[in-house]
Structure 1
Amino acid sequence: MHAHEDGERACMSRRQFLLSGGAVVTLAAVPGGLALGAPLRALKADYPKVKIGRLSALKQGVPVVFAYPYPNVHNILVKLGAPAGAGVGKDNDVVAFNQRCTHMGGPLDGTYKEKHQVLGPCPLHLTTFDLTRHGMVVS
């Protein structure tokens, strides 16, 4: 401990303060760190299967609008005519996407562009999604 000009001693040296502060920070982090070792269980929503239509009835480039899993959640099912990421069907060219922008939930209803096989642009931030590449943002 150091003496002050008036003869008083400091209650704690700088070194003691830093060591004590480090100990407090370490102790504060330990309970969170211990929780990382515990197994995490994912919660899974269980939605019923719903028949939207027959793959053979889909027309290339013509989106089929459907509601799932709730009546107010709009989606599209599209036969692209070219293999797509996560595509299903004989040619892996059938995909389904939600019609809400993943950024801020902007409506994408009616924005499918057959020529470029994209959904968008979002009216909020002009985001466009490539349906051939898992819905990746392309602009």
Structure 2
Amino acid sequence: MFMTKISRRTFIGGSAAMVALLSTPEWAMALITQPYPRLKIANIKDLKVGEPVSFNYPDEQSPAILIKLGERAIGGVGPEGDIVAYSSLCTHKGCPVSYSKKRFVCACHYSMFDPAKNGQTFQGHASEWLPQIILRFEPRTGNIYAEGVEGLIWGRIRNILKSSKISKL
């Protein structure tokens, strides 16, 4: 393995420069924000309580589920604040999750997540919550759009892949 020796002065100087760079709000935000596409998922008139709508977001390799819960939810949109969406990949090993009986259930190891509480894990091996899709509801048209992801999609180091192609609306 090739290792380069650096002096203490070089290390401290580089560290100070990095701290200065990251303490500038514009630079820090540029490093942590990602350009999410805006995607129309559904119209509120087509949703029924407890019936999931499958879609892909933020790209074609990222399955997700939109659900109208029938009860107010954290991060919920719509007139009742009860429409939420989540990545449908379990945070334990990436197995698919499905919506059943007011919860998301992992088909592989039976981790369970609460869609009304930010996708919080309440049973099983998963130690992280399901990534929640950030939604926007437009009252004038009734359209529901995905506009971002809160949390990291399983198996990724970034939610946005460099080659992501998804139609923007």
Alignment correspondent of 1:128: 112
Selected match of 1:137 from 121, 126, 133 = 121
Q: What is the TM-score normalised by the length of structure 1? A: 0.67
Aligned-residue RMSD, C-alpha:
2.5
- Gaps (5+ residues) in structure 1? 1-25
Alignment correspondent of 1:119: 104
Displacement of 1:53 in angstroms is 1.5
Displacement of 1:118 in angstroms is 1.1
1:52 is paired with a residue whose SS is strand
CA-to-aligned-CA distance 1:8-30 (integer Å, 9 cap, x gap)? xxxxxxxxxxxxxxxxxx86973
Q: What is the TM-score normalised by the length of structure 2? A: 0.56
Which has the larger strand fraction?
A: 2
* Aligned mates of 1:105, 1:29 — CA distance in 2: 39
* Aligned mates of 1:56, 1:32 — CA distance in 2: 56
Q: Do the aligned residues in 2 keep the contact of 1:122 with 1:128 (CA within 8 Å)?
A: no
Displacement of 1:55 in angstroms is 1.1
Whichever residue aligns with residue 119 of structure 1, its letter is F
Displacement of 1:101 in angstroms is 1.1
2:86 is paired with a residue whose SS is strand
Q: Does 1:53 align with 2:38?
A: no
Displacement of 1:42 in angstroms is 2.1
The size of the alignment, in residue pairs, is 111
Selected match of 1:37 from 20, 30, 34 = 20
1:47 is paired with a residue whose SS is coil
Cα 1:126/1:49, change in 2 over 3 Å? same
Whichever residue aligns with residue 19 of structure 2, its letter is L
* Aligned mates of 1:104, 1:43 — CA distance in 2: 25
CA-to-aligned-CA distance 1:73-105 (integer Å, 9 cap, x gap)? 211110000000100000000001111012332
CA-to-aligned-CA distance 1:109-128 (integer Å, 9 cap, x gap)? xx211x2x2111351x4321
* Aligned mates of 2:58, 2:107 — CA distance in 1: 22
